[in-house]
């Protein structure tokens, strides 16, 4: 008989639950680009990028054929074309992507009402209790993938585990068209051997900081006390402590309403020249536009976040009657917010966020010149 040893923290976590949850994370494969290849047969098996192909354009999505050359979303079109000279640029059709997304989401709801969309092309599903009374989450994930393929012609990848953190990581392991399961008895070993930059919620800047602290894998993170991690990473310290032990109690929330969408950039060296900051701000604007499009988020308020070299932080906001959208509008508003007051000192981080969500059921107020 084979015995499995489980970390005491994880054991107590699983023991505290009446039953082990079965969470699936479904992530469509290169969604925007795949839809374009589906609708335009002449683009199939070719490296394509959805987005603007001009020198100031940006890649919203790249096909897997383009990714082989190092082309990625949020990359400038200029760099993308250098990496892949034969790259084909296609203008995005977000109404079409939304149409396909709605069909995919309707498939999810056939299995469970506990569906938490993260964006237009991915969602968490809690199938611990499901409408078809299927005992295996793997069986459900396979059936969902099959249905998506049959009804849309597209492929999806699925990750399955006991919580959202692990399911999210699992869905990325065998992409494209993959399925990966992390069962309860394998959680501890999986996390201990997971590279820290693969942890969901650990970005590049944090990963670099952890590397300098000798934290390269989950087993290294697990050695740190919650006190040490809170001192080193502030409010995120508790999160890192628990995920190192496979603990994530967040429920799949079907009523989750995104309140904002944002992005930020930390400079390698501090900036003080306003013109230089405005120029660099363009890449932050492009990244924000991509995130707004992917999440289908619409809001009226733009907030500029500034973090100075002394770590002092301030925010400046502008609220409009209409939706804050489009690269030109966001860049102009961001520059106006930047010019609102003189900078106190050099800048180490800049961020942009759209909030004040617009309910699509409410009529939009139009600006009329008279």
- Where do the structural domains in the chain lie, given as residue ranges? 8-28+97-243, 260-357
Fold of 260-357: Dna Ligase; domain 1 (3.30.1490)
pLDDT for position 322: 86
User: What is the pLDDT of the chain when averaged over all its residues?
Assistant: 88
| CB atoms near residue 155 (< 10 Å) | 16
Rounded distance between C-alpha atoms, residue 93 and residue 157, angstroms: 23
Report whether 330 contacts 285 (CB < 8 A).
Answer: yes
pLDDT tens-place string over residues 90-102? 998 988 999 999 9
Query: In this predicted structure, which of 161-165, 188-192, 274-278 has the lowest mean pLDDT?
Result: 274-278
Q: Is 122 tagged catalytic?
A: yes
Give me the mean pLDDT over the 270-284 stretch.
83
Cα torsion at 141, 142, 148, 154 (round to 10°)?
110
pLDDT tens-place string over residues 33-51? 999 999 999 999 999 999 8
Rounded distance between C-alpha atoms, residue 126 and residue 16, angstroms: 18
Residue 283 has pLDDT above 90, yes or no: no
Q: Which of 17-21, 216-220, 268-272 holds the top average pLDDT?
A: 216-220
Residue 157, CA distances (Å) to 27, 152, 180, 204, 254 in order: 5, 14, 8, 24, 21
Give me the mean pLDDT over the 271-291 stretch.
85
Rounded distance between C-alpha atoms, residue 251 and residue 109, angstroms: 17
Report whether 147 contacts 107 (CB < 8 A).
Answer: yes
Q: What are phi and psi of 161, to 5 degrees?
A: -165, -165
Rounded distance between C-alpha atoms, residue 36 and residue 114, angstroms: 30
Peptide bond into 358 cis (omega under 30): no
pLDDT tens-place string over residues 120-149? 999 999 999 999 999 899 999 999 999 999
pLDDT for position 363: 45
Rounded distance between C-alpha atoms, residue 201 and residue 18, angstroms: 27
pLDDT for position 184: 94
Class of domain 8-28+97-243: alpha beta
Catalytic residue among 122, 249, 264, 336, which? Answer: 122
Strand order of the sheet with strand 156-161?
A: 115-119, 122-126, 23-28, 156-161, 179-181
- Sorted by sequence, the CB contacts under 8 Å of residue 294 that are 6+ apart come out as 60, 119, 120, 121
Rounded distance between C-alpha atoms, residue 286 and residue 292, angstroms: 10
Rounded distance between C-alpha atoms, residue 185 and residue 162, angstroms: 10
368 confidence band (pLDDT: 50, 70, 90): very low
Which of the 8 DSSP states describes residue 85? T
pLDDT for position 204: 83
pLDDT for position 369: 35
């Amino acid at each position: 008989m084979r015995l499995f040893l489980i970390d005491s923290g994880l054991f107590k976590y699983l023991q505290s639950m009446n039953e082990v949850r079965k969470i699936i994370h479904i992530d469509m494969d290169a969604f925007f680009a795949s839809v374009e290849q589906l609708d335009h047969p002449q683009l199939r098996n070719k490296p394509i990028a959805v987005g603007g192909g001009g020198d100031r354009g940006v890649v919203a999505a790249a096909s897997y054929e383009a990714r082989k050359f190092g082309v990625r979303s949020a990359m400038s079109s200029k760099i993308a074309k250098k990496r892949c000279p034969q790259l084909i640029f296609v203008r995005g059709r977000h109404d079409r992507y939304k149409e396909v997304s709605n069909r995919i989401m309707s498939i999810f709801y056939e299995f469970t009402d506990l569906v938490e969309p993260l964006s237009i092309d991915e969602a968490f599903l809690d199938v611990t209790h499901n409408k078809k009374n299927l005992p295996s989450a793997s069986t459900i994930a396979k059936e969902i993938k099959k249905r998506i393929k049959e009804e849309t012609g597209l492929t999806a990848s699925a990750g399955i585990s006991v919580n959202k953190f692990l399911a999210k990581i699992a869905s990325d392991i065998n992409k494209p068209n993959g399925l990966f399961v992390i069962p309860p008895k394998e959680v501890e070993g999986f996390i201990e051997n997971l590279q820290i930059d693969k942890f969901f919620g650990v970005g590049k800047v944090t990963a670099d900081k952890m590397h300098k602290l000798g934290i390269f894998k989950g087993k290294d993170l697990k050695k740190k006390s919650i006190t040490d991690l809170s001192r080193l990473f502030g409010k995120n310290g508790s999160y890192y402590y628990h995920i190192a032990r496979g603990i994530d109690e967040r429920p799949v929330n079907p009523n989750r309403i995104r309140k904002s969408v944002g992005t930020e950039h930390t400079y390698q060296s501090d900036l003080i020249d306003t013109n230089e900051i405005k120029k660099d701000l363009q890449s932050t604007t492009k990244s924000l536009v991509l995130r707004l499009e992917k999440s289908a988020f619409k809001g009226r308020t733009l907030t500029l976040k500034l973090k100075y070299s002394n770590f002092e932080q301030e925010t400046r906001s502008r609220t409009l009657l209409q939706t804050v959208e489009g690269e030109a509008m966001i860049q102009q508003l961001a520059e106006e917010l930047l010019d609102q007051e003189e900078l106190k000192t050099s800048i180490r981080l800049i961020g942009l966020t759209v909030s004040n969500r617009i309910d699509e059921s409410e009529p939009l107020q139009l600006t009329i010149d008279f």
